[in-house]
Chain A
Amino acid sequence: MNRKSLVSIADYSEEDILRLIGVAEIFEKNPNRKLLEGKVCATLFFEPSTRTRLSFETAVNRMGGRIIGFSDAATTSSSKGETLKDTIMMVSNYADLIIMRHHLEGAARYASEVTGVPIINAGDGANQHPTQTMLDIYSIYKTQGTLENLEITMVGDLKYGRTVHSLITGMSHFNPVFHFVAPDELKIPDLYKNFCDKKGIRYHEYTDFSEDVINRSDIIYMTRVQRERFTDLMEYEKVKNVYILRNSMLSNSKDNLRILHPLPRVNEIAYDVDSNPKAYYIEQAKNGVFARQAIICDVLGIE
């Protein structure tokens, strides 16, 4: 049996991503297949994340698997001072698969080293959230019919936004052009620009969220600009309304443009965008179940 954990989107090659998209498509046509009959999946949420947990548990349930776990570390022995290693080894006695979210960065990598049971990282602090990235990529594929040669605009908090960083890594195999739209305080770190340079990926940076860049885009990936990220609150007041997408800004956009957002949104997408057929963020979340079904089968070696 092929047992491999998924800790970071960088663990996936181009072929892996394309294979998983193919599997996710099959699940989308028929999500209820009893592939996990007799299997126990643990969802260990050391940090609460209702949205992600429900998506994973739906994926497991639709495949007929059983679930054990917890949704908040306050009710577990880690609140009594048990090490992560001990918790993981204990759960490894019970489960065939461990899906975990943790507030500490690197927790999933470490867990994957202390147990032979496959680990799926459902978010480790600000570091990685690879299943989110897979559902983002699957959504891009579904709406564009391809992953190749797309113009992808990322808007908002590009400095701390882990979904942005992972999406850059995941899409780097497919010759994209990136447009990075962010205030100076939250612009894309040099690290990711260097990564693009090394891979020969074209990118442009803007502080203005102009119609010009919107009209070039195949995908607009919106993120939240959070007040607590700013050291200078004056600066926040200046920019907080600059990166809001309104329906009127989309009038000359491409027909194939789709707007993505990892959710939850606050005010960065105006509600008048919701009725525009180019708004895709709610369906995007639905794709998460299919992408996660594909990933679960992949780490368990189920064809």
Chain B
Amino acid sequence: MVKKKELQVAALKNGTAIDHIPVGQLFKVVSLLGIEYLETPVTIGYNFDSKKMGKKGIIKISDKFFEQNEINRISLIAPTVNLNIIRDYEVVEKKQVSLPDEVSGIVKCNNPKCITNNEPMQTRFQVIDKENVTLRCHYCEVKIKKEDIELK
């Protein structure tokens, strides 16, 4: 007998649903998207069951529609995330994150002798390998592999 799957959180009327967030990255995604500063209702789901991922995180944000460059901020830590744009309970658009050519201010350079770790200034990285996610510091030229990326 097939049992109808129960929704784990209430459906969204208008807004953005971000699904399939790796649980380890959920709260980083929350912070990178600046969700804590929003004034609209937000549901954050943690350790939900997922057929694809085992456990996953989800975020549902009412009445908020992100610009592509805002979404791309999370591409470094959660490149597989899907965004569903919802209007009147219907998914009207699906968006994917994509890695930008340059990343400013999000990532910390992991070279302690880099000028960016010693001056009050923004970091800046060129994405030199989008497939494997490798960054190069615009200043000290150190290359940072995906697994070594540290957020500010």
Contacts and interface: CB of A to CB of B under 8 A. Distances in A.
A106 B137 contact: yes
Contacts of A8: 141
Interface stretch (A123-131, A255-263, A280-288): A123-131
The 6 closest A-B pairs by CB, nearest first: A106-B139, A105-B140, A106-B140, A106-B115, A104-B115, A107-B115
Interface of B: 111, 113-116, 118-121, 137-143
Contact of B143 (A105, A124, A126, A191): A191
Contacts of A126: 113
Nearest to B118: A104
B120 A83 contact: yes
A206 interface: no
A109 interface: yes
A127 B119 contact: no
A110 interface: yes
A84 to B, nearest CB: 6
Interface residue SS majority, chain B? loop
Given A103-B113, A104-B113, A105-B114, A125 B119 contact: no
Interface residue SS majority, chain A? mixed
A126 B118 CA distance: 16
Interface of A: 8, 83-85, 102-107, 109-110, 124-128, 191
B121 A105 contact: no
B141 A110 contact: no
B111 A105 contact: yes
Contacts of B143: 191
A85 B114 CA distance: 15
A258 to B, nearest CB: 29
Given A8-B141, A105-B140, 9 more contacts: A85-B121, A102-B115, A104-B113, A104-B140, A105-B141, A106-B137, A106-B140, A107-B139, A109-B139
A110 B142 contact: no
B120 A106 contact: no
B139 A105 contact: yes
A113 to B, nearest CB: 9
A83 B113 contact: no
15 contacts: A8-B141, A104-B118, A105-B111, A105-B114, A105-B115, A105-B140, A106-B115, A106-B116, A106-B137, A106-B138, A110-B115, A110-B121, A124-B115, A127-B141, A128-B141
Contacts of A83: 119-120
A85 B140 contact: no
Contacts of B140: 104-106, 124-125, 127
Contacts of A107: 115, 139
Contacts of B111: 105
A83 B119 CA distance: 6
A104 B143 CA distance: 16
Contacts of B116: 106, 110
Contacts of B121: 85, 110
A84 B119 contact: yes
A104 to B, nearest CB: 5
B31 to A, nearest CB: 26
A219 to B, nearest CB: 25
A124 B139 CA distance: 10
A252 B7 CA distance: 81
Contact of B114 (A84, A106, A128): A106
B142 A85 contact: no
A107 B114 CA distance: 8
B113 A125 contact: yes
A126 B143 CA distance: 14
A64 B111 CA distance: 40
A8 B137 CA distance: 13
Contacts of B142: 105
Nearest to B138: A109
A125 B119 CA distance: 15
Contacts of A102: 115
A103 B115 CA distance: 9
A103 to B, nearest CB: 7
A59 to B, nearest CB: 26
A80 B139 CA distance: 24
A103 B116 CA distance: 13
